[in-house]
Amino acid sequence: MQDYEKLYKSLKIEYETYQKFSEQHIQELNEKNVRLEKSIDSLSNIIEVSKYINTFFSSDNLISLINDMILGILGVTYSTIFMIENGELIVKASNIENMNINLTSKEFVHINKGEEFLVNSRKPLKQTGEHKIDIHSIMGSPIKLREKFIGYIVVEHNLYKFMNIELKLFLRSITNQIAIAIENSLLYKELEKINQRDPLLGIYNRKYFFEFLEKNENRKLNDKFAIVMIDIDDFKKVNDTYGHQFGDKILINTANIVKYGIDKNDIFARYGGEEFILYISDFTSEDNVYSKIEAIRRTIEGSKINFNGRDESITASFGISFFPLNGTDLNELISKADDLLYKAKKSGKNRVLSGNIFKI
Ligand code: GH3
Ligand code: MG
Ligand code: MG
């Protein structure tokens, strides 16, 4: 009998120990589960952020879009993105009213060193924005591209202890995505530029010229514009006499003269070989366009290019057609300008023939 009691007691103790152990274990598992769920949440947020950023990488206001996204995802009161430009940190996006950024001296030090920081204080750290909101929680993270410090994000909140280690890790992972997106964006812009330009002359290519005009098709309905076809005179002879390399030099020089003789909104492109095409927008009168092109012709004629110690010069011929005077669509205008150019060649070269004078 006594043995049974003993056995019962020992079993009870064993059971209670086991129960305690199990409860503790279950508790630990629950905590682990919560942590894992948080990690999954955070990971899926990072994936969403990455998707979002990569959708807009070609946008001109990529940084502003990223700043809006940070505000939305982190739920912070203020977010500001700085980028390094010409060695200086410049504010590129912020929801602080009028971009009136006021950094505490501590923030300033961290930002300039490109260090992460996280600070909470019951006493306001500073007041931000038009409404002078008391800030109790600030966090910052550098944007680094392969260890190179390229920018910085600062987020602020009016609630004490709003920023914590988890948000800090999250912000860190966002900055990695941003760095990649910025690099992609720069590469994309570079590639876009290369695709639009002639490799020898650096001016637009024919493809870009037509794409640009197609995009601006509706403008044509209201605004006047002119098309100028340009062709270097006796260029074959230049190549044959002085060689292809000198021919290239002439091409570069001629393209530069035209480039500096036109206005900001004009589009100048290599049409092919030694032929160029020019779109002139916003002109006041056809005669003004003629004068502008005539000035370019004279500059080309007067320009000297050195070949083996000797100054050589070339000339070029021009045909100008006007919308709506000489035609209503681009192909018609190009063909009119081409006809005038042909006439200029036939009548002695080194001339500008304009569609408002020479009717065709
Ligand atoms: P015209 O006065 O009637 O225009 O005579 P042209 O000799 O200029 O005319 P043509 O169109 O027959 O000759 C153009 C030459 O331009 C032929 C080609 O070899 C040369 N060319 C085309 N592209 C280039 C280039 O990128 N570099 C050089 N050096 N020559 C080029
Ligand atoms: Mg030609
Ligand atoms: Mg020619």
| Domains identified in the chain and CATH numbers | 53-196 (3.30.450.40), 204-354 (3.30.70.270)
Which residues of the chain, if any, have pLDDT below 50? none
In angstroms, the CA 318 to CA 291 distance is: 12
pLDDT of residue 136: 97
In angstroms, the CA 112 to CA 152 distance is: 9
Q: Which of 206, 232, 233, 235 to mutate to test the pocket of ligand 1 (most atoms within 8 A of CB)?
A: 235
Q: How many CB atoms lie within 10 A of CB 131?
A: 7
In angstroms, the CA 259 to CA 201 distance is: 11
pLDDT of residue 296: 98
pLDDT of residue 338: 97
pLDDT tens-digit profile of 73-118? Answer: 889 999 999 999 999 999 999 999 988 898 999 999 999 999 999 9
Q: How many CB atoms lie within 10 A of CB 262?
A: 18
Give the gyration radius of the chain's Cα atoms.
34
pLDDT of residue 217: 67
Whether residue 192 lies in the annotated active site: no
Distance 236 CA to ligand 1 centre (A): 5
The phi and psi torsions of 86 (rounded to 5 degrees) equal 50, 45
Ligand 1 atom 12: residue of nearest CA: 236
pLDDT of residue 38: 79
pLDDT of residue 357: 83
What are 155's two structure tokens?
A: 């987020």
The finding on whether 350 has its CB within 6 A of some atom of ligand 1 is no
pLDDT of residue 309: 86
Q: Which of 231, 232, 270, 274 to mutate to test the pocket of ligand 1 (most atoms within 8 A of CB)?
A: 274
Q: Which of 201, 205, 229, 236 to mutate to test the pocket of ligand 1 (most atoms within 8 A of CB)?
A: 236
Q: What angle do CA 311, 312, 316 make, to 5 degrees?
A: 145
The finding on whether 240 has its CB within 6 A of some atom of ligand 1 is no
The finding on whether 238 has its CB within 6 A of some atom of ligand 1 is no
Any bridge partners for residue 230, and if so which? 276, 318
Query: Which of 123, 109, 93 has the alpha carbon at shortest distance from 101?
Result: 93
Query: Which of 297, 296, 304, 287 has the alpha carbon at shortest distance from 261?
Result: 296
The finding on whether 243 has its CB within 6 A of some atom of ligand 1 is no
The finding on whether 232 has its CB within 6 A of some atom of ligand 1 is yes
What are 119's two structure tokens?
A: 């600070």
Helices (H), 197-306: 206-215, 217-222, 235-242, 244-261, 286-302
In angstroms, the CA 182 to CA 61 distance is: 11
pLDDT of residue 220: 55
Distance of CA 94 to the CA centre of its chain: 18
171 touches 141 (CB < 8 A): yes
In angstroms, the CA 275 to CA 269 distance is: 9
The phi and psi torsions of 244 (rounded to 5 degrees) equal -65, -35
Residue owning tokens 């600030």: 138
DSSP 101-160: ----HHHHHHHHHT--EEEE-SS-SEEETTTTEEE-EEEEEEEEETTEEEEEEEEEESST
pLDDT of residue 360: 57
